[in-house]
Amino acid sequence: MVNNGRQNFTNCYIAGRVDFIYGSGTAVFDHCEIHSRNGGHITAASTPADHPFGFVFIYCHLTGDSQPWINPTNPVTGAAPNKAYADLGRPWRPTASVTYLNCEMDDHIKPAGWNNWGKVANEATARYAEYNSTGPGANPEKRVQWAKQLTNDLAEKITVESVLGGSDAWNPAQP
């Protein structure tokens, strides 16, 4: 849970299954491995409307379990279950903000990329974006129409400093 404030995660390994990175805080995940445990949704941001950024992933590698998840209360018998896929995120609050920059995405990422959490109205307010995604899970032409593919100019403006600086100009790279 990344709730309130500003956080910086660098060279981390973060794993979970459903909405495992969530909350209303502002956070940068820089050069991290984000591992989906058998599908689900990676993020559930509840970014307030007046915050320019929510979760920003920079040069991260999105990985997933090779074996599909089997619900222990309703196990699948006989045929093997389908591979478990993951969404990049779904909006916990309508104004959720999640951005992936220069991230490598393995094949567990759904081609559509994003989920509206069952509310079509979220498509007009959620702030979801990608830039220069690579790997078998990177499918810019198959992403939902309401998510953005950033231009070079827009992507260059999103840095650790610009996301986390705030009114006090915090620079997490400086002690």
Distance CA(151)–CA(154), nearest Å, equals 5
CA atoms within 13 A on the CB side of 96: 31
Active site residue 153: no
Distance CA(35)–CA(89), nearest Å, equals 13
Residue (of 120, 112, 127) closest to 46 by Cα position: 127
> Token pair of 106, please?
């393995």
Which residue out of 19, 30, 65, 107 is catalytically annotated? 19
Catalytic residues: 19
